Structure 1
Amino acid sequence: MAESLRDILEAAGRGVFPVADGGITVVPQHGDRDAGVIAFTAHSVVFTDEPEGWVRETLGALGCDPLAAAMNPRFLSAFGERAGRVTDTVDVLLTGAPLPGRPEAVLEEVADPGHPRVVSAGGRRDEVRVWAADGGELVLGRGIAGRLEVAVEVAAGARRRGLGRRLATAARRLAGGEPVWAQVAAGNARSLRAFQAAGYRPVGSEALFLRP
């Protein structure tokens, strides 16, 4: 049986990645909300309900390095136009293994479903939970193919004190025994450093397409 997007992500969360053969794997979307591209080392995965033939024909027509074709801006532009979707940026994709014990940061879960962070995260994730800390917020929710995703926000006045690292680590302790995934814009060096200091490792890059 062909691998699904969930299969590929679950394996990657365990440190087992697609073969680095320069190939492209095309799989159906897990659900209507999420389409996109994940580039692992020398192998990319395109998850879309558009025809696989269109994906491969469009990639082949680029005439660029096959290793970079799926993240080529011309392909991403064509993908968005074809699917009627939009993307914000190409993110660095990181994973963190679950940790035992209680979070180091002092957190208070936000029970208000109308809280701005709950509402904004709900457009990209299901089962959203938000915790507030002094100077920051931690968000966990089910994103692409049901994987557990984290987002961290630190207020300007609370930066340079290690709070981002503590919140990212707290997510690993709140994960309930499964890997935690983080999507960080490549230019957000401060956030990347915080997640890496919290034990997350980069596994690829990702362009996510959503309905406008």
Structure 2
Amino acid sequence: MGVRELAEILADAADGVFPPADGSVTVVAQPSAREAGVVAFAAHAVVFTDEDPAWVRDTLAADPGDPLSAPLCPPFLTAFAARTGRTVNNIDLLSVADRLPGEPPLALAEARHREHPRVVRALRYREDVRVFTADGGVLVLGRGVAGRWECAVEVDPHAQGRGLGRALATAARHLLPAGTAVWAQQAPGNAPSVRAFQAAGYRPVGAEALLVPGRP
């Protein structure tokens, strides 16, 4: 692959066009000072960092494990965090869905408060954050990694098991600007969240680990 930007790689993935599944690693510049990390597709990883690409490749080559999984394994992520002075967030399933026309499938009210834990987290990692509430749930929409639209949902315990998570994830698709897609990260162990987003039409495209500024 030639020199590319992360935003371009993600846009292609949203359209179903992925880097070659040849076991290689692409290193691209960070989209901003806030964002460094790894996106792993099928047999191809993209590391976005302002560190020397030679350091990335040498560190990966030193891992005696499976080279296909090395970019998301603890040895590399630990070295990456130590090198950059960052903290590794969760390794998430990365999924994407296209915009849908029309109104969302449930009544939403746009909120102005910023105290909800989901909102507090979103403001750390996203710009242009908007918050919507429904009876029993919260939808957060904003621009995250490489400017992509991202959403997260939260369902109150008393409202779980009724399809509200799926409805909120679907609603995010109706709130996008024309011609855009929305991305979502789910912890692989959170099976209800994974099922809700896939039921809402989000397509799994890979896995992602973000390194955020500062140590715990």
TM, length-normalised to structure 1 = 0.97
For 1:1-212, what aligned pairs fall within 5 Å after superposition? 2-112=3-113, 114-116=114-116, 117-177=118-178, 178-212=180-214
- Residues 125-151 of structure 1: per-residue CA shift (max 9 Å, x gap): 000000000000000000000000000
Equivalent AA in structure 2 for residue 211 of structure 1? P
Q: Distance in 2 between matches of 1:176 and 1:39?
A: 27
Q: Distance in 2 between matches of 1:81 and 1:98?
A: 38
Equivalent AA in structure 2 for residue 4 of structure 1? E
Equivalent AA in structure 2 for residue 133 of structure 1? A
Q: CA RMSD in A?
A: 1.1
Structure 1 residues 172-181 or 126-135, which shifts more?
Answer: 172-181
Q: CA deviation at 1:120?
A: 2.9
* Equivalent position SS for 2:213: coil
Q: CA deviation at 1:176?
A: 1.7
Q: CA deviation at 1:175?
A: 1.2
TM, length-normalised to structure 2 = 0.95
* Equivalent position SS for 1:21: coil
Q: CA deviation at 1:118?
A: 3.5
Equivalent AA in structure 1 for residue 53 of structure 2? E
Equivalent AA in structure 2 for residue 206 of structure 1? E
* Equivalent position SS for 1:39: strand
Q: Distance in 2 between matches of 1:18 and 1:176?
A: 26
Number of equivalenced pairs: 211
Q: Distance in 2 between matches of 1:183 and 1:82?
A: 25
Q: Distance in 2 between matches of 1:70 and 1:189?
A: 24
Equivalent AA in structure 1 for residue 182 of structure 2? V
* Equivalent position SS for 1:87: strand
- Residues 141-191 of structure 1: per-residue CA shift (max 9 Å, x gap): 000000000000000000000000000000011112311000111101000
Q: CA deviation at 1:69?
A: 1.2
Q: Distance in 2 between matches of 1:196 and 1:7?
A: 24
Q: Distance in 1 between matches of 2:89 and 2:31?
A: 20
Do 2:92 and 2:185's aligned partners in 1 also have CA atoms closer than 8 Å? Answer: yes
Q: What 5-or-longer segments of structure 2 have no aligned partner?
A: none
Q: CA deviation at 1:65?
A: 1.6
Runs of 4+ that moved beyond 3 A: 114-119
